[in-house]
Copies of this chain bind each other. A is one copy, B any other.
Amino acid sequence: MRADARKNRDHLLAVAGTALTEQGIDVSMRDIARRADVGLATLLRHFPTREALLEALLRTNFDELTARAGELAETSSPPEDALVSWVRDCVAWTTEYRGVTVLMAAAIADIDSALHASCVTLRAAGARLLTRAQAAGTARSDLDGDDLFALVAMLAWLGDQPALAPRADHLFDVIANAILTGTGSADTETR
């Protein structure tokens, strides 16, 4: 990449970051280009879709969350605490980018989305923590990585809705509790 292009790209990412956190995930691409004093077509040449822009912007966050899952899996703390703590981190992170949850929910099933790989990695990281807690007998045995991803998405979505957000913390506890309720009540309920 040419030096001027690289500089342009970095500048676009910086501007996009503030625009997205301020206005939410739905800011118009035109707006971002305007803020960066750049033609719309230039922005789109660097990042052909909103997903591509987000992928570049959120890569760090995704990597951090994945790394954190790895650390938590190594520690000696109880597996169920590690799991809940990680889920909490995931949900908390999304509040920074209002509306990102819907894009992630779409990306996990869309091979062509620029966010697809990151979402799949995230799901796998969660699945490992979940399996570990299940092996210890402290998480419901009838959940898998897809379920956990969906539960995280639901909680993140909740925080995105201004009218429902006040209940987000409380319902986080309720659902975390449900995940950890153990296999006993799960068995009686699924059959």
Contacts and interface: CB of A to CB of B under 8 A. Distances in A.
A177 B180 CA distance: 12
Interface residues of A, number: 38
Given A163-B108, A185-B177, A171 B158 contact: no
A170 interface: yes
Interface in A147-191: 147, 149-151, 153-155, 157-158, 161-164, 166-167, 170-171, 173-175, 177-179, 181, 185-186, 189-190
Interface of A: 102, 105-106, 108-110, 140, 142-143, 146-147, 149-151, 153-155, 157-158, 161-164, 166-167, 170-171, 173-175, 177-179, 181, 185-186, 189-190
